[in-house]
Chain A
Amino acid sequence: EVQLLESGGGLVQPGGSLRLSCEASGFTFRIYFISWVRQAPGKGLEWVASMSGSGDVVHYGDSVKGRFTISRDNSKNTLYLEMRSLRAEDTARYYCARDRGELGRGYHWGQGALVTVSS
């Protein structure tokens, strides 16, 4: 069974940093694109970033480009999202999502980690 478990969320001040982790199990982690998708409170879904299984292909959404960094450690079956220069509008639940072998195709989702940016 595919499982994705996010951690590392919390309260951070504007301008601060935070690192999210997504630990995966139940599939061959190193062969799949994994993505981060976020959802602000009461709002819709927004794609944030994706990384290929080998780590050589990376994409970012415009709203986080230059501030967020996606990475992965295939030896630990773990995906990361390093978030810097955080803003109030980054407040959201951040989901880790695995596709069906093609970037963005049919995501399987974790339960998410809540990030709150507030002073």
Chain B
Amino acid sequence: DIQMTQSPSSLPASIGDRVTITCQASRDISHYLNWYQQKAGKAPKLLIYDTSTLETGVPSRFRGSGSGTDFTLTISSLQPEDIATYYCQQYDNVPLTFGQGTRLDIK
């Protein structure tokens, strides 16, 4: 199974900060990576697929990058509505696997 490791697990940040979350795969997954945002009590929401393709309607302050085993989600300027938990997920191989999540909150 491919293990997905996110860091950090928790990230306090201020409004307007540039925020970076990393996701590392235990083996090469090419570009087969998604990022999701989950707000408290809600279903996950797709932000980015294919490592860097922004889902329709997602603000351009979100950016995904990387390839192979190392991936990054960047929020260029943190907004109050971005407070949530973020998950990466690989779809290179079954079983599909998720990172453990990064909880983003206000410093």
Known: A45-B87, A106-B55. A111 touches B43 (CB 8 A): yes
Does A29 sit within 8 A of B, measured CB to CB? no
> Does any Cβ of B come within 8 Å of A61's Cβ?
yes
A107-B34, A109-B43, A109-B44 known; A62+B95 contact, CB < 8 A: yes
* Candidates B36, B96, B97, B99; contact of A50 at CB < 8 Å: B96
For window 47-104 of B, CB contacts with A under 8 Å fall at: 49-50, 55, 87, 89-91, 94-101
With a cutoff of 8 Å between Cβ atoms, the chain A residues found around residue B96 in the complex are 35, 47, 50, 103-104
Which single member of A45, A61, A100, A111 contacts B89 (CB below 8 Å)?
A45
Q: Is B45 in the interface zone, CB < 8 Å from A?
A: yes
With contact pairs A103-B91, A105-B32 given, residues A110 and B43 touching in the complex (Cβ less than 8 Å): yes
List B contacts of A67 (CB < 8 A). none
User: Interface size class for chain B?
Assistant: 20 to 34
Given A104-B89, A106-B34, A107-B36, CB of A47 within 8 Å of CB of B95: yes
Provide 30 A-B residue pairs closer than 8 Å at the C-beta atoms, listed in order of the A residue. Answer: A44-B87, A44-B99, A45-B36, A45-B87, A45-B101, A50-B96, A59-B94, A59-B95, A95-B44, A99-B91, A100-B49, A102-B91, A103-B94, A104-B89, A104-B90, A105-B32, A105-B34, A105-B49, A106-B46, A106-B55, A107-B34, A107-B36, A107-B44, A107-B89, A108-B46, A109-B44, A109-B45, A109-B46, A111-B43, A112-B43
Q: Which B residues fall within an 8 A CB radius of A? A: 32, 34, 36, 43-46, 49-50, 55, 87, 89-91, 94-101
